[in-house]
Amino acid sequence: MATIFTKIINGEIPCYKIAEDDKYFAFLDINPVKKGHTLVIPKIEDDYIFNLDDDTLSGLVLFAKKVALAMESAMPCKRIGLAVMGMEVPHVHIHLVPMENEGDLNFAKEKLKLTPAEMNEIAEKIRKEL
């Protein structure tokens, strides 16, 4: 069965899209730890980042870099942090998070509650910097 992220890629589930090419896709995390928290995924399904072949993995990181640089311009932050967990969704994803301090990468803390209008505004800001 398709993962929830494949359904997002295919447009079967809505998302706040940031960027896409033939192999990769980026969209806002629906439960952000910080404003601008973005997920970057490969279009192929695999549940573990270190199962990816070298080309797919390096392409994923380079795609994440483009998105991260746009996020850095769009969102107030010191830098963009990167995390890979995959405890919840079995489809490889890199979390990109605008950081002010190391506590911003604490995924156990309460998530932000943003309105659809706020999420759309953030996605638009990041897309403009791509």
Other beta carbons within 10 angstroms of residue 62's beta carbon come to 10
The yes or no reply on residue 120 touching ligand AMP (CB under 6 A) is no
Sole binder of ligand AMP in the list 2, 4, 62, 69 (CB under 6 A): 4
Contact range with ligand AMP by CB under 6 A, out of 42-50, 60-68, 87-95, 113-121 = 87-95
Q: How many residues bind ligand AMP (CB under 6 A)?
A: 13
Other beta carbons within 10 angstroms of residue 41's beta carbon come to 24
Residue 33 and residue 111 in contact, taking contact as beta carbons nearer than 8 Å: yes
Window 19 to 78, contacts with ligand AMP (CB under 6 A):
29-31, 39
Give the angle 53-44-105 at the CA atoms, nearest 5°. 80
Instruction: Classify each residue of 87-100 as buried b or exposed e, where b means 16 or more C-beta atoms within 10 Å of its C-beta.
Output: eeeebbbbbbbbbe
The yes or no reply on residue 112 touching ligand AMP (CB under 6 A) is no
The yes or no reply on residue 85 touching ligand AMP (CB under 6 A) is yes
Binding positions for ligand AMP, rule: CB under 6 A: 4, 13, 15, 29-31, 39, 85-89, 93
Tell me which residues are annotated as active site.
Answer: 93
